[in-house]
C-alpha cells in the first residue's frame, strides 16, 4: 500500500498508509490529522488547504479552475498549495509529502 507523509504545524512528520482512491483529506481524517475539510470535498471551502512538497507538486493532476478559485481564498497560500480533498491517491503518488499550512515556516527552516 502506498504511503504519504504529513508535516504537522509543529514540524513533526507523520507517515501514514495512503490507500489508492482516497483523497488526502480522507487520509488525514483516518489518521487524526488536524485538517478540517469543512465541506467534505465539495469544493465549497478552503479548509482542506495543504502545501505540497515542491518535489511532488508537478506529479499531481492539475487543479481545476474551481479548485483554483477556492484556493485563492485560502489563508497562507503558497506556490504549491492545493486542496487536500482534490488530491486522490494513486500508486504513483507513493511517498507524497504535504505540510499543514501553519507549518510552512518550519518546513522552510528544515526544523
Q: Which residues are 88's β-sheet partners?
A: 23
Q: What mask, x for binding ligand FES by CB under 6 A, covers residues 3 to 32?
A: ----------------------x-------
Among the residue ranges 26-34, 35-43, 54-62, 99-107, the one whose residues contact ligand FES (CB under 6 A): 35-43
Nearer to ligand FES, 40 or 111 (CB): 40
Among the residue ranges 11-19, 37-45, 56-64, 102-110, the one whose residues contact ligand FES (CB under 6 A): 37-45
* Among 111, 106, 110, 6, residue whose Cα is nearest residue 56: 6
Could you write out the DSSP letters of every residue in 68-107? HHHHTTSTT--TTEEEGGG-B--GGGTTEEEE-GGGHHHH
Number of residues forming the site for ligand FES (CB under 6 A): 14
Amino acid at each position: 500500500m502506498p504511503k504519504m507523509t504529513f508535516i504537522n504545524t509543529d514540524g513533526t512528520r507523520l507517515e501514514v498508509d495512503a490507500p489508492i482512491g482516497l483523497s488526502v483529506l480522507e487520509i488525514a481524517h483516518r489518521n487524526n490529522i488536524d485538517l478540517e475539510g469543512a465541506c467534505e470535498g465539495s469544493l465549497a471551502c478552503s479548509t482542506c488547504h495543504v502545501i505540497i512538497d515542491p518535489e511532488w507538486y508537478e506529479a499531481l493532476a492539475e487543479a481545476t479552475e474551481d479548485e483554483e478559485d477556492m484556493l485563492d481564498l485560502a489563508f497562507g497560500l503558497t506556490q504549491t498549495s492545493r486542496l487536500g480533498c482534490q488530491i486522490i491517491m494513486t500508486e504513483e503518488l507513493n511517498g507524497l509529502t504535504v505540510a499543514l499550512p501553519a507549518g510552512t515556516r518550519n518546513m522552510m527552516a528544515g526544523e
